[in-house]
Structure 1
Amino acid sequence: MSRQEHSDLPPVHEAWLPREHPLHRPRHGRRQLAALVCAVLFFTAPVVTWVFGARAEQLENRPLAAFPSVTEGWGFFTGLNAWATDNLPFRKGAVQSVDALSRGVFGEPARLAGGSHTSPIGAGQVDEKPPINENVFPAVIEGKNGWLYLGHDVAYRCVPKRTLDEVIAGLRRWRAVVEASGREFQLVIAPDKSTVYPENMPDGYAGKDCSTQVRDEFWRRLPAATGAVDLRAQLREVAARNQRPIYHDIDTHWTHEGGIAMTYQLAERLRPGVTSSWLIRPSRQYPHSADIPDLLGQDRTVPIQAYSLAPDGGPEDNTQFKPSDFHQPLHLESPALPGVIDRPVRMVGDSFTQFASPYLAATFADITVTHPDNVALDPVAAGQLLAEGEVVTFELSERFVAGGRYPMLDPEVADQVGAILAAHPIR
């Protein structure tokens, strides 16, 4: 057969060649079809079930992933997986079933989520994922006496995104740019529950050695190097006085007593002795959805004891209960009564501040709280907000600071905000 005859042969797909031909490649048609059907069902299930009235439930303490925009380029396709996973309407039941099966068969909780998820208390991630897979750490640590701990308490310390030196440098840069504008700077670190109550942690767990080492070095160095308020001793003192823990056993946050303790510290540092007239009384009780059981697909609540606060010592309660996650800045105003801080304060705080906001509202005449995410996402808007205050206060969670997880710890973010503060100095 001539070369010309060879070239006149029609093109043939490699899957149609004889099996003994060296270029033969099977198409796996049935497998490909099955995979395609599964993919279509996975990505269309949220839409189809939504049409029939089913709604996805929020498991983690964060918003459900939004449908990706076509303007994101390839990010549209990579974002589909998170959207479809979050918006599966029967996901919670599946999580509960998997956990029950794991406990029944293997005698241990299922590893349902890893550190790649956003923290249930906010502080969304915009940095690159660390090279070590955080899924080696459980999402929930089951401690003694029925206590539950957030796995990020351990994972973020053991797999930090920034070194402690970098974290300290970032916080010191924030203090420098704020104080250079003539404003007062306050920094509070909300301790992890595992830091305040390590006695209820299990005897052994993944990351025990590395997390303990990082925790000890963190508290030994950071408060002195940055001027941060260390609330650990005061929190234990308040708990001993009230004869009950100041953190919830199945929630990662402190109680309202913890929020009041922080409010006391902030006010006293601004005006020593101002709290001497404050009168605090127990007020209402209400159930609060605990965040850690959500990660196990469980609906559990903790009892909340709220308080009234009269800064002038009178009979009138001056607290304001305005639920907010601070992603939309929350502004609170109060009459300039005796015992009230009358200087305008602008605050960056996460979900720990949610348990303090009623008491901040009662004792600060003019305070606005924004979330740490907002600062890194829009430094210009954050700078304009902080420039409204004479005092700039940060409340940051230990796990996110120790793990270098706040994007706003980047000194460049501080410099961008600092430029705006410098343009509007306090004389």
Structure 2
Amino acid sequence: MTALVCALMFFVTPTLLWIVGVRPTEIENHKLASFPSLGDGWKFFTGLPGWATDQLSFRSGAISAADGISRGLFGEGAPLDQAPPPVAGPIPGATPSTPKNAPSPQGSPNSQAGYRRVVQGVDGWLYYGYDAEAKCAPSRPLADTLSRINTLRQAVESSGRKFVFVIAPDKTTMVPQKLPASYPDKDCSQPKQEADWAQFLAAGALDLRPELKKSEGRVGRPIYPPNDTHWTDEGALVMARDVANAVQPGVTQTWVSTPTRMYDVNADLPPLLGRNEVKTLQEYTLKPDGAVDRGGLSNGDIDKPVYRKTSPLVGTIDKRTLIYGDSFTKASSRYLPGGFTNLTMLAHYTSKTTQEQAIDEFVNAEVVVVEAVERSVSAGQLTFIEDGFLNAVRAKLEEHPIG
């Protein structure tokens, strides 16, 4: 009887609370888990805890109370982020799902008690813990990762297409001055960071760091927000300019950008600590010919191909271009179409687009730009370097050369 009563409360309580208007809220950068299907077999039972946890209507208040008590008694936030990160990563493009048959990280702090997903820096700054771990516990040697990227480059270029590989720097790389004096993997990751970048550049990666630093100097502040892993609009403009110049040198000489309005969007790191916060960003125009504004709206989703077509202007590239990227491409999607008249943006970590569909976008392009965040490259966690993808894209491009 006790078991039956507990089971009844387990299933009915969230429903009763929903009826009287109490709703659970998303507080951890992922959609609330849906009730598992009876058709899932044993996964029905393993999926129940996640559903039940997400349906706790007062969970957000409980987390805030726990954090407040911890700060009041111990002078530091509650260790709410010590649990292992979700397989797919709390931040798009951060810790991607491991491709089938790909090697798993050995000795990764992800699986060790006490691992912190968020590093709390000085002056309230937050950093993603995986930035350091990725360099110290990679899934595969960096030389192997870069060799595979070069294989993709050769497949694209031998088919008559242009290839650009661009790496979005980690926030820890660009704003190290706000890191705490001590944090997990510091002694390992700091020297590894410089060594990794030397290998990135030797492999032909586009280096955004110099222009990011120049932009930071112009605005007089870091161009990564204190509470988010991604760059601000200033960083997005740097990516748009540098990628366009890599495709067609000098094309951005006529570009003009001016600030317009401030706007708020949700920050991605506070939810890992049980909090909800926004980041405040400066929006800009992007006038490739100095007159017509081609800055647009940011795309909330590039899990499926996003197409942007406009008429040619001075300062634009009139070639079919694919930008195959991650969350930094999405964060830059307001400005990337400004430099290209026929642009496709697509995420390489997505379950909404099949491998065959993604490869079709390679075939349809004259220019292929592959973007990945530094931590994913250092860790070797990139779906497009797996043998299955490389072999398939190479075969398809050989069948459809251009020239």
1:343 match:
319
State the shift of 1:44 in Å: 5.4
State the shift of 1:87 in Å: 3.9
| 1:201 aligns with one of 179, 201, 204 | 179
Alignment partners' CA distance in 2, 1:38 and 1:405: 42
State the shift of 1:104 in Å: 2.3
Aligned residues: 393
Alignment partners' CA distance in 1, 2:15 and 2:105: 33
Cα pair 1:231 1:262 within 8 Å, conserved: yes
State the shift of 1:275 in Å: 0.5
Same amino acid, percent of matched pairs: 39
Instruction: Establish whether residue 297 from structure 1 lines up as the match of residue 267 from structure 2.
Output: no
2:85 match:
116
Alignment partners' CA distance in 2, 1:67 and 1:414: 37
State the shift of 1:130 in Å: 4.2
Q: Give the AA of the match of 2:119.
A: I
- Higher mean C-alpha deviation, range 112-121 or range 272-281: 112-121
Cα pair 1:192 1:252 within 8 Å, conserved: yes
1:64-79 equivalence runs, <5 A: 64-79=32-47
Alignment partners' CA distance in 2, 1:50 and 1:242: 47
- Higher mean C-alpha deviation, range 174-183 or range 256-265: 174-183
- Higher mean C-alpha deviation, range 57-66 or range 147-156: 57-66
- Higher mean C-alpha deviation, range 268-277 or range 75-84: 75-84
2:97 match:
125
2:224 match:
247
State the shift of 1:66 in Å: 4.2
Alignment partners' CA distance in 2, 1:173 and 1:94: 50
| 1:104 aligns with one of 62, 69, 72 | 72
Cα pair 2:227 2:267 within 8 Å, conserved: yes
Alignment partners' CA distance in 2, 1:82 and 1:129: 24
Alignment partners' CA distance in 2, 1:352 and 1:188: 11
Instruction: Establish whether residue 184 from structure 1 lines up as the match of residue 154 from structure 2.
Output: no
Cα pair 2:27 2:274 within 8 Å, conserved: yes
- Higher mean C-alpha deviation, range 138-147 or range 409-418: 409-418
Alignment partners' CA distance in 2, 1:40 and 1:422: 60
Alignment partners' CA distance in 1, 2:256 and 2:402: 33
2:306 match:
330
SS in 2 for 1:205: coil
Alignment partners' CA distance in 2, 1:423 and 1:391: 17
1:296-375 equivalence runs, <5 A: 296-314=273-291, 316-374=292-350
SS in 2 for 1:295: helix
- Segments of structure 2 that go 5 or more residues without pairing to the other structure are none
Cα pair 2:98 2:381 within 8 Å, conserved: no
SS in 1 for 2:377: helix
Q: Give the AA of the match of 1:202.
A: P
| 2:137 aligns with one of 159, 165, 170 | 159
Cα pair 1:134 1:159 within 8 Å, conserved: no
Render the CA deviation track for 1:256-302: whole Å, top value 9, x for unaligned.
Answer: 11011011111111111111111111112111222111222223222
Kindly tell me: are residues 47 and 359 of structure 1, through their superposed partners in 2, closer, same or farther at Cα, counting changes over 3 Å? same
Cα pair 1:332 1:368 within 8 Å, conserved: yes
Render the CA deviation track for 1:196-225: whole Å, top value 9, x for unaligned.
Answer: 111110001122122224323211212212
Cα pair 2:223 2:235 within 8 Å, conserved: yes
1:7 match:
none
Kindly tell me: are residues 160 and 303 of structure 1, through their superposed partners in 2, closer, same or farther at Cα, counting changes over 3 Å? same
Cα pair 2:303 2:352 within 8 Å, conserved: no
Alignment partners' CA distance in 1, 2:78 and 2:165: 37
Alignment partners' CA distance in 1, 2:13 and 2:117: 26
Using the size of structure 2 for normalisation, the TM-score is 0.89
Q: Give the AA of the match of 1:203.
A: A
Render the CA deviation track for 1:305-363: whole Å, top value 9, x for unaligned.
Answer: 0111111111x312111432311322112221111111011111222123321211222
SS in 2 for 1:220: helix
Cα pair 1:112 1:139 within 8 Å, conserved: no
Using the size of structure 1 for normalisation, the TM-score is 0.84
